[in-house]
Amino acid sequence: MLENQHAMAFASFQTFGRKLSGGPEAMVRGFFRELRKWFSKPGFAGSGFHRLAMELADLPGHPARRIASKHKNLLEGHLVEVLAKAGLVNAEKHGRQIWVLSEGVIALAVIHADKNYCSAAEDAALALIRRG
């Protein structure tokens, strides 16, 4: 079941990546704009893979944790790829930093039911890539 959910979620994320266009700053703005849309959907509960990994945090070898890790690694890699194609210098490093910000903002949006954390994460991501 988790492998199927991973395949569906990854396909959706790839579609999401194709929606992004322009240079690195436009891509980052688009990325966080799409996260805001997701956060605004009725019943938003964050990433099931994120919740799953946290629930099983004391069982590092659990097969479900391996799937969650695989899923998150592929999503991060896809984000890096999209940003690299947009011409982001140090795309791997900055993509990982932006990924960390996005995962944090997803968790905070769930905890506080406040999508406005997305603006803070977007500002931080833009500052990262501007600083180079």
pTM of the model: 0.86
List the domain boundaries for the chain.
Answer: 2-131
Which CATH number is associated with domain 2-131? 1.10.357.10
Does the pLDDT at position 111 exceed 80?
yes
Give the per-residue pLDDT at 67.
85
Distances (CA, A) of 3 to 61, 62, 107: 16, 14, 22
**Residue in the block written with tokens 């769930």:** 110
88 within 8 A of 79, measured Cβ to Cβ = no
- Mean pLDDT for 83-108 is 94
Euclidean distance between CA atoms 73 and 6, whole angstroms: 11
Is 95 within 8 Å of 80 (Cβ atoms)?
yes
Q: Which two tokens stand for residue 54?
A: 């946290």
pLDDT (tens digit, 9 = 90+) per residue, 6-32? 677 767 766 666 677 789 999 999 999
> What is the rounded CA–CA span in Å between residue 60 and residue 37?
32
Rounded CA separation 14/22 (Å): 16
Q: Hey, what amino acid is at 39?
A: F
